[in-house]
Amino acid sequence: MSKTIYNKTVIEFFAGIGLMRDGLEKAGWSVLLANDIDITKRKLYLNHFNDTDTHFVLEDIHKLQSAKIPTATLATASFPCTDLSLAGRRAGLKGKHSSAFWGFVDILKGLQDRKPPLILLENVAGFITSNNGQDFRDALIALNEQGYLVDAFIIDASHFVPQSRVRLFIVGKLGRKREIKINRHYKESELRPSRLLKFIGDNSDIRWDINHDLPELPALEQSLENIIESISKGSALWWSKERVDYLLNQTFDRHLIKMQQLVQEKTYSYLTAFRRVRDNRSMAEIRFDGIAGCLRTPKGGSARQILLKVGKGEINVRLLTPRECARLMGADNFKLSGTVNEALFGFGDAVCVPVVSWIAKNYLNEELNNIINKQEQTTKMYAESA
């Protein structure tokens, strides 16, 4: 490859509203091309960034022409997770949505000698066990066949923002020829828990290149209270007493007991809840740990996350706002646009910005330095032998 591509340039697929880009830019990377098929996400992306008309391609990834894709150092892909989770009935990589992964592989194949030396993929942690692990294995072998050695790790966004959002990340590194011996006794960690280590050990024929120098994930410095908007008591966003009572009637007794204790406090506590079906009943499951549940796309009535402000003899309830969702994704300054549901859909289907920045600073930047150093050594070797 040409030396000129060894800089912090990115082509991003399944770009969504641009939070992958946001995280990478905070680590010094710049996007040359962004691609997504969703017109609403493109609208939100364009409204936030000022330079997208020239590089955002609204198209099905299966229809992209590799010849028109710029040469870059990194390719990212946050491909649809629907078929890798229970929501998609575990259809896997053959499902209608998650099969878009193969479009990404076809892009890599079509780039031939212009393949980016680094790739970063993101998806739900359920990818590891989808179809008893066969989907994950097929995906990694497909990346191997394109010349990439692979690494995988899991990060919960709750180390960075007050939201529990567990995601699997895959890093691919091109052009490594050495064979990597897999140690079945790797030390378990939060980045690589037992289920992931078991998969690595059980699939030692996959060409791995595992980074063991990643630092520990940081401790959370925020709480749910830090991201809450100040909304007056008279706002129509707050639920009526009848609606609040209806929610409380759907709440587990053990949760009601805890809330009644918090109601008597002289300060407010902030809780979140989702409605879930339990024993054929719609029930409200409430979190008391100061962390929001994982944001979802608002496709159904139970997908919107509920905020409870409890204390001083009161229980106040409303839905999380788009700005609060942006903050929970580490995108505090995102320029909100579109309808409420459009904004919530964009954030619920995105990556957490500081998580991406952490990966870029602690992994991708180091790998890029290794690539540059190796190239310089090769150049020097050829110059000395000339």
Euclidean distance between CA atoms 303 and 316, whole angstroms: 20
Question: Predicted confidence band at 268 (pLDDT cuts at 50, 70, 90)?
Answer: very high
Res. 187 pLDDT band, cuts 50 70 90: confident
Domain count, the chain: 2
Is residue 180 domain-shared with residue 63, that is, in the same domain?
yes
169 pLDDT more than 60:
yes
Judge whether 24 lies within some domain. Answer: yes
pLDDT tens digit sequence for 198-250: 999 999 999 999 988 899 999 999 999 999 999 999 999 999 999 999 999 99
User: Does residue 133 sit in the same domain as residue 240?
Assistant: no
Q: Specify the CATH number for the domain of residue 53.
A: 3.40.50.150
Write down the pTM of the prediction. Answer: 0.92
Residues 66-77 pLDDT 10s: 999 999 999 999
pLDDT digit string (tens) for 93-111?
554 545 788 999 999 999 9
Give yes or no: residues 231 and 295 share one domain. Answer: yes
pLDDT digits (tens, 9 = 90+) for 29-56: 999 999 999 999 999 999 999 876 678 9
**Domain range spanning residue 104?**
3-221+352-385
201 and 186 inside one domain: yes
Distance CA 263, CA 276 (A): 24
**Same-domain check for residues 166 and 238:** no
Tell me: do 215 and 234 sit in the same domain.
no
Average per-residue pLDDT for the chain:
89
Same domain, 230 and 206: no
340 in a structural domain: no
Closest CA to 5 of 128, 174, 126, 156: 174
pLDDT value at position 97? Answer: 46
Strand partners, 287: 272
Give the pLDDT of residue 276.
81
